[in-house]
Structure 1
């Protein structure tokens, strides 16, 4: 590990060259002259015995060997972060960094409250939260840019370990003045009779909706599609639109104009919130401690829904 640490600057430069496609830009970001960046890159390629970048007229691009090297670099930085966490723990500082890839459903209430509770105990731990669809979140785990993923999905990739699974039914979400807002449960056909504002087809809830429609030979043409649930909630709050969400993404907020009503499980299958980690990876102490907290919270999770449910 100590030997690897001597090469950290060079490895970071390789990451930045790969990201920006430019030796000059990588050097500017790292406050190093382009000629010094070139020397470090050449020395690394000599040690490896082959080039890792294609030199193109408009910049630099990783070749197949470089893609392998970049994946190795990401693994090395993950190991370095774990080492730093262990050293901080020994010194009593309890510092560290946690990187999370997550679905939009958990960012409105669940994840913020978990981070606040964690930082009350460990205020020196920093977080990076990236909101992604389930495919992109899995990719972040695979390239070591995320420590964990908290996603709503209808399947499970083979290269990840599922720590906790929480079933989530589909709920209709609408404004308090919507004609269906007073109901205790809804059939899917009743929902489809109203103007729809739906998440894009890549989102887990939309996948389940499309499957349910395909099984009965039906199709829908939503009035609005969007990749932001905050936008969709704003649309249904002030208009006659209806959208769909899962309980963890539709918490009770005092004075909220939003009402949620469960859709009959005979009409549409439930999906799952998955808490995932990359198979075989040992997390840094700060990330593992937060993962343990999330595991406990999800294992005892009970949805709190808006008044119409």
Structure 2
């Protein structure tokens, strides 16, 4: 098994076509087919099912493709680190962002990294904290934002900020940033909520239980975008971090107010792998991510956020 075979496997898996994979790899189609068949012969399993809709990974193929991607990514990273261009920090870095922070952080982070470190290839994944932590543990992320997490055997955690949760409603509800709303008052509305098992749902349910508050839940979803869409569709109010609704409120699509009685806050942290050496490119991107988070807090682009210093004290 060689690198050409691994590249052929991953490329066919991604595009679902030997013909298209051959174009991307600058090979003739029979060459790609031979590489796939050689792998199947060596492994003694079928990696793809040839269907009317293209090449579909088998269960064994999916496992092999996942491992091949990681191997190729590590090799590309190592090559970039030992052969930097003109002394610049170089390499491939995969960053995880919480879904609620995309609008606030994604574009500024990419812009800053590209301007200051043009030889870093940035990959960005988004998801909920539980997914991001699992991807970090699996080696699919170099650095990520997480929330309500302390150090684990596999993850080093650096506190960044705490942020308040907000009630979110249609514009006609007239919620205002300068007029906090009690959780009990929010509970009088039908609610669109994160699905059970989601860390944000656990945080909200815990606050409600401690205050003997019951919710009338109309819809549950694991998507922040869908939470907002269902609110716009008239299915109820919802509860979200402030960073996730800034653009919608500014555009007049939603109205929102910080929660009180009780105030519910979550802690956002920077997570990095505890084991192994963090590549120089990943260190640079981690520093830039922290810088962008702090700037968002200081400029008010991250509503109701309080920055934490190295001792964990809110500022």
Under a length normalisation based on structure 1, what TM-score does the superposition of the two structures give? 0.70
Report the structure, 1 or 2, having the larger strand content. 2
Cα gap change, 1:281 to 1:206, in 2 (>3 Å): same
CA distance in structure 2 between the partners assigned to 1:120 and 1:181 by the alignment: 37
1:231-270 residue pairs with structure 2 within 5 A? 232=228, 235=231, 242-251=237-246, 256-257=251-252, 260-264=256-260, 266=262, 268=264, 270=265
1:104-119 residue pairs with structure 2 within 5 A? 104-119=99-114
Choose which of 183, 206, 224 in structure 1 pairs with 2:201: 206
Q: Is the 8 A contact 1:201 1:207 kept in 2?
A: yes
Is 1:51 the equivalent of 2:48?
no
Which piece of structure 1 moves more, 97-106 or 139-148?
139-148
What's the counterpart of residue 63 of structure 1?
60
**How much does 1:185 deviate?**
2.9
Q: Is the 8 A contact 1:98 1:147 kept in 2?
A: yes
Secondary structure at the counterpart of residue 146 of structure 1: coil
Q: CA RMSD in A?
A: 4.3
What's the counterpart of residue 15 of structure 1?
10
Which piece of structure 1 moves more, 95-104 or 153-162?
153-162
What's the counterpart of residue 289 of structure 2?
294
What's the counterpart of residue 87 of structure 1?
83
**How much does 1:75 deviate?**
3.9
Is 1:134 the equivalent of 2:129?
yes
Cα gap change, 1:255 to 1:24, in 2 (>3 Å): closer
CA distance in structure 2 between the partners assigned to 1:290 and 1:266 by the alignment: 36
CA distance in structure 1 between the partners assigned to 2:40 and 2:247 by the alignment: 56
Choose which of 227, 230, 235 in structure 1 pairs with 2:223: 227
Cα gap change, 1:101 to 1:74, in 2 (>3 Å): same
What's the counterpart of residue 187 of structure 1?
182
Aligned length: 296
Is 1:169 the equivalent of 2:174?
no
What's the counterpart of residue 3 of structure 1?
none
Secondary structure at the counterpart of residue 276 of structure 1: strand
**How much does 1:84 deviate?**
0.8
Cα gap change, 1:169 to 1:265, in 2 (>3 Å): farther
